[in-house]
Structure 1
Amino acid sequence: MRGLSNKVAIVTGGGQGIGRAISLRLAEEGAKVAIFDLNPAAGEETATLAGSGAVIKTYQVDVGDYAAVQAAVAAVEADLGPIWLLCNNAGWDKPLAFLKSDQALWDKIIRINLYGPLNTHHAVCPLMVARGGGRVVNIASDAARVGTSDEAVYSACKGGVISFTKSIARELARKGVLLNTVCPGPTNTPMMQSVLGTGDDAIKWKDAMVRGIPLKRMGEPEDYAGMVAFLASEDANFITGQTISVSGGMNMI
């Protein structure tokens, strides 16, 4: 990809799963990556996987904590330089029928999946505006586009991220800040594994998901990293406000 060498990128939730694959791909393209993760050991493991030539620095951050996000963003600018890319990848869910859920669960899901991106945008985008350029890539979900049983609040948050991204893309277009959303489909990640569990029921659930995907397989974290790198690069200079599904053809919208 053109134009990513030495650019500074924040990846939230970069310690595992999709976030790890994104961090590794951006580092491969020559970017300097700042991982925001609750688990700094996972972020350090990502950095180790990238090899000695890569620049990946981990910051222990709860994206739902506005003050912590502000402090971490300031630290990134001091440590690595001006932030070019913000990739909001951190997410969490506990699948449960909505009528069996409670407000405490709603609050946790909303805090991570919606307030997290709001906090990071509010901390990073003013810096991009002041410099006249930058990119934001938000990781949502195809659950936001079609709905998913037992993930109503999560789907609502991800739908909110899509609408929020389009709105801020309109607000910041003239400032040279481009924002887009990537929507993964079902993916083999630690979070998915924790959801599926083990045993026959887990196998049946996974098989049912695969049957609904034209490419007949689950996504892998690496399937999304190239799209994020593309949207962060000079090759995407005329793309903003878009929502791109990367889901093996599961939802052809």
Structure 2
Amino acid sequence: MSERLKGKTAIVTGGGSGIGSAIATLFAQQGAQLALIDLNLDASQPLAETLQRETGLRCIALQADVTDEAALKRCVAETEERLGPVDILINCAGINVFRDPLTMEDADWQRCLAVNLKGPWNGIRAVLPGMVARQYGHIVNIASVHGHKIIPGAFPYPVAKHGLIGLTRSLGVEYASQGIRINSISPGLIMTPAAEAWLESCDDPTAERQRQTDILPCKRIGEPVEVAYTALFLASDEARFINATDIVMDGGRSQLYHE
């Protein structure tokens, strides 16, 4: 354990699985005490207990829907009471919503924006007062390559992710002079449980997995821990001059002119 986050307290939303759990695990290994906020305590609670046992650092699991601003504020207050001031917020909670624009129900539109855009804003608003008071804080939003490039059939997910990148840039500039940095990461295809489930739902999972691998310049699909290491850098003081910036990590896929 190199302890790049020694003495820091971090909140990770969506910390119970996928990219969120990879970030939580790496952060604990790097010396941070953690609050994992997730809808599913069945996933986040065992992880919190395991990380606390393995690292000796305090790690708690809290339940909340990120669309519920009051619930997130309560979670932040509990984190501060149990772990101390929040130094780092990782907004990782999100959902895939891919619909036909003409037949999509309004509820799908609302839920997509509520979780993927307003959810991070709720988390930021909950931690900002404490960060402003101490003139210190690092926030990392997990966006997506969908916030840069449009993939047909993925509406309205890209709308929310474009908005999240805009939120990152706007607030990063707004609070830069107060010691607070706000950045985002835009992963491409990452082999999370959700990605695995999607591949298995395809008519020929093996062929689709190979197709997805072949279209990547690096000829492999990304891993959650790779996103976690990028989040670690952005959340650490090593990145103290990086602000209001989005980092695309998709194996170079978005740089291709054509397939």
Instruction: State the TM-score, normalized to the length of structure 2.
Output: 0.92
SS in 2 for 1:182: strand
Residue in 1 that maps onto 2:47: 46
After TM superposition, the structure 1 stretch with the greater mean CA deviation from structure 2, 3-12 or 64-73, is: 3-12
Other-structure match for 1:124: 127
Q: Which of 229, 233, 237 in structure 1 is aligned with 2:236?
A: 233
Query: Partner residue of 2:162?
Result: 159
- In 1: Cα distance, 2:3 partner to 2:236 partner: 6
1:63 maps to: 66
> How many residue pairs get matched?
253
Counterpart of 1:77 in structure 2 is 80
User: Do the aligned partners of residues 248 and 49 (structure 1) sit closer, same or farther apart at CA in structure 2, a change above 3 Å counting?
Assistant: farther
Residue of structure 1 aligned with 2:148, choices 145, 150, 172: 145
Give the residue type in structure 2 aligned to 1:226: Y
Q: Is the 8 A contact 1:87 1:137 kept in 2?
A: yes
Residue type of the alignment partner of 2:15: G
Matched position secondary structure for 1:90 = coil
Which is worse superposed, 132-141 or 119-128? Answer: 119-128
1:114 maps to: 117
SS in 1 for 2:194: helix
Query: For residue 9 of structure 1, what is the aligned residue in structure 2?
Result: 10
CA distance in 2 between counterparts of 1:3 and 1:208 reads 37
Tell me the CA shift for residue 191 of structure 1.
1.8
- Distance of 2:44 and 2:244 partners within structure 1: 29
Structure 1 window deviating more from structure 2 (78-87 vs 208-217): it is 208-217
Contact kept in structure 1, 2:93 and 2:116, CA below 8 Å: yes
Aligned to 1:148, the other structure's residue is in SS state coil
Counterpart residue identity of residue 6, structure 1: G
CA contact (8 A) 1:7 1:31 kept: yes
Amino acid of the residue matched to residue 149 of structure 2?
V
Matches within 5 A, 1:207-246: 207-246=210-249
Computed over aligned residues only, the root mean square deviation of the Cα atoms, in angstroms, reads 1.7
- For 2:26, the equivalent position in structure 1 comes to 25
Q: CA deviation at 1:126?
A: 1.8
Evaluate the alpha carbon distance shift between residue 132 and residue 91 of structure 1 in structure 2; reply closer, same or farther with a 3 A threshold. same
Mapped partners of 2:180, 2:9: distance in 1: 15
- Unaligned 5+ runs, structure 1: none
User: How much has 1:211 moved relative to structure 2?
Assistant: 2.1
| Aligned-partner SS, 2:227 | helix
SS in structure 2 of the partner of residue 99 of structure 1: coil
Q: How much has 1:195 moved relative to structure 2?
A: 3.0
Moved over 4 A (4+): none
Unaligned runs of 5+ in 2: none
Which gives a bigger RCO, structure 1 or 2 (Cα 8 Å, sep 6+)? 1
SS at match of 2:44: helix
TM-score (norm 1): 0.94
- Code of the residue aligned with 2:125 in structure 1: it is H
Moved more, 48-57 or 172-181: 48-57
